[in-house]
Amino acid sequence: MLIYKELIKSSNKIIYPTSKKDFTFKSLKKKVSIKPLFLKLTYVLYIDNLKHCRPCIDTFIETFKKQSLLHPNLNYVLICKNFNEKELDILINDKNLELPIYTITNDKSFFLKMMDETSFPFYFTINNSLDISNVFLPSKKRPELNTIYFNNINENY
């Protein structure tokens, strides 16, 4: 399992130490502040419509959705990049998603830029201090690793 941790907070705004630029999310309907999204440890699935293949996106969304149903007391958020509202609406309806979904509007994160080099969606956790950790690049060929990943985090938090 790949582990990476990056502190991304400054007062009430979220910034990245490498760029010092604001990092914002946009919900489907309005802009939101990032800090209230992560009041406790939150699982995040990051998907990029341009860089990740559709079968991978579908597979890992299903896994993420199953985990959220198995552990409804935990927080789960889907962060999307390069999706327009119509594409997100289709995804939500097609997958019958009830998870919070946000799109990135200002991608200045060193962490996300580095991770964008991967060709797969990935999971990570973020806590109330906005520390990113527990980064995991899942594999369709080894789905049992997804279960191990989520079980390990559930046991440790």
Give SS3 for 150. helix
Q: What pLDDT, in 10s, does the model give residues 10-60?
A: 223 333 332 223 344 555 555 666 667 778 888 999 998 888 888 989 999
Residue ranges of alpha helices (H) inside the chain are: 54-70, 85-95, 110-115, 144-156
Give me the domains of the chain, ranges plus CATH numbers.
6-156 (3.40.30.10)
User: What is the distance between the alpha carbons of residues 33 and 63, in angstroms, rounded to a whole number?
Assistant: 27
Task: Identify any residues that bridge with 104 across adjacent strands, giving them in sequence order.
Answer: 25
pTM beyond 0.85: no
Burial code of 135-151, b = ≥16 C-beta within 10 A, e = fewer? Answer: bbbbeeeeeeebeebbe
